[in-house]
Amino acid sequence: MNLIQLPTEGMWTYWVIQEVAGNPYNVAVPHPIHLHGHDFYVLGTGTTTWTASDAASLNYNNPTRRDVAMLPTNGWLALAFVTDNPGAWLMHCHIAWHADEGLAVQFLESASTIGTVAQIPADFQSQCSAWDSYYNGHPAYLQHDSGV
């Protein structure tokens, strides 16, 4: 699992996502990148490989705010968000089989305060047990991926 811990609240966090050629197959397509738990700021995109010189072209002055942004084919997407929402948040490609194949990352944000923000409901374990009972009872459709 791809897990990145973001332990400090109230910090800006910056990410550059690069789309690269696959191996052994190169299916060059754009990827709609979605982040749960936050809107993020799109600082920039490019259609080539990211280099340090691309940092000079990033927009920090009123950038576009989104919860989905397109990662260009063979390009990059630069985004930022503030760690102001404790939880476990998934960032993934919105093409379901891409997420299933691993184009996703989990941010664990401010883990030490999650329990103070959102208490686990009393029926949490019974819901898990109900799912286990249903799924292990041979459902009509088997779940083969995360369902994202």
Q: Is 143 contained in some domain?
A: no
Q: Looking at the 3D structure of the chain, how many domains does it have?
A: 1
Question: Does any domain span residue 133?
Answer: no
At 117 the three-state DSSP class reads helix
Whether residue 142 lies inside any domain: the answer is no
Mean pLDDT (the chain) is 91
CATH of the domain at 21: 2.60.40.420
144 lies in some domain? no
User: Is 46 contained in some domain?
Assistant: yes
State yes or no: pLDDT of 1 exceeds 70.
no
Q: Of 13, 16, 14, which Cα lies nearest the Cα of 77?
A: 16
pLDDT tens digit string along 3-16?
999 999 999 999 99
Residues 87, 112: Cα–Cα separation, whole Å: 10
Question: What is the spatial order of strands in the sheet that 68-71 belongs to?
Answer: 3-6, 104-109, 87-93, 31-35, 68-71
Give residue-wise pLDDT tens across range 61-102. 999 999 999 999 999 999 999 999 999 999 999 998 888 888
pTM of the predicted protein model: 0.84
Structure-token pair, residue 42? 């799109």
